[in-house]
Amino acid sequence: MRRYKVIRAFALPFVKFFLRYKLENKEKIPDIPFVLCANHVSLADPVILACAFKTPVRFMAKSELNKGALGFVLRQLEVVYVNREQADLGAIRQCVGSLKEGTSVGIFPQGTRVEGQARAEQALDGIAMICALGKTGALPVALIYKKGRPKLFRRTRVVVGDFIPVEELASVGDRAAQSRYIFGKVCEMIDNG
């Protein structure tokens, strides 16, 4: 992910200056590959997360973004394009492959940008499946924006929660329950803001 690191290094000073993010609880970031699970409010979310986390994170993105200049940049960042209209097994295989190769994966389990209150029930099932097949746990991360949306020169909080090992997820129930459990931790951090 050499190109990822180059693009991140170029974007980092601009993102720090204009979006003013603050990474909280960075000591909770594990030293092993993980599935980053975050709420999704804005197009800025993956940019902020990529800059906040020093280790590369391969994000999932909707397949509709794979065109034009934006598509070119996203391909350089090695995003995993997902077809949201169906169960995209190819995208899941790419994510699992990345985890096994040592690269963390970033997922917005709501599947799209959602304004307003984040709720555990909004989580799609794929996140738990990727954790199980990749044999790793999930890292809940809450993006907390003042007034609910990012704005230039306004502080953005990136709050890291406790890593959820795959063994803990296995005790929760089926994949749907596990996905809700993971995203529920994100929602708790937002609510406790």
* Annotated domain spans of the chain: 2-192
- Tell me how far apart the 2 most distant CA atoms of the chain are, in Å: 44
- Taking the complete model, does pTM exceed 0.85, yes or no? yes
Query: pLDDT digit string (tens) for 18-76?
Result: 988 999 999 999 999 999 999 998 888 999 999 999 999 999 988 777 788 777 777 77
Q: So what's the pLDDT on residue 83?
A: 82
- In this prediction, what percent of the chain has a pLDDT beyond 70? 99
Q: What is the mean pLDDT of residues 102-109?
A: 95
pLDDT-derived band at 110 (thresholds 50, 70, 90) equals: confident
35 — alpha (psi -120 to 50), left (phi > 0) or beta? Answer: beta
**Could you give the CA distance from residue 60 to residue 78 in angstroms, rounded to a whole number?**
9
Q: Where are the alpha helices (DSSP H) in 20-86?
A: 45-52, 68-76
- Bridge partners (DSSP) of residue 58 are 105
- List CB contacts of 60: < 8 A, sequence separation 6 or more: 79, 80, 81, 82, 91, 95, 105, 106, 107, 108
SS3 35: strand
Of the candidates 111, 127, 131, 13, the residue with the CA atom closest to the CA atom of residue 62:
111
pLDDT in tens, 86-96: 777 889 999 99
Per the prediction, the chain carries an average pLDDT of 89
Distance CA 21, CA 81 (A): 26
d(CA 8, CA 65): 19
Q: Tokens 């596990």 identify what position?
A: 178
CB 81 within 8 A of CB 91: yes
CB 67 within 8 A of CB 92: no
Q: Span 2-192: which CATH code?
A: 3.40.1130.10
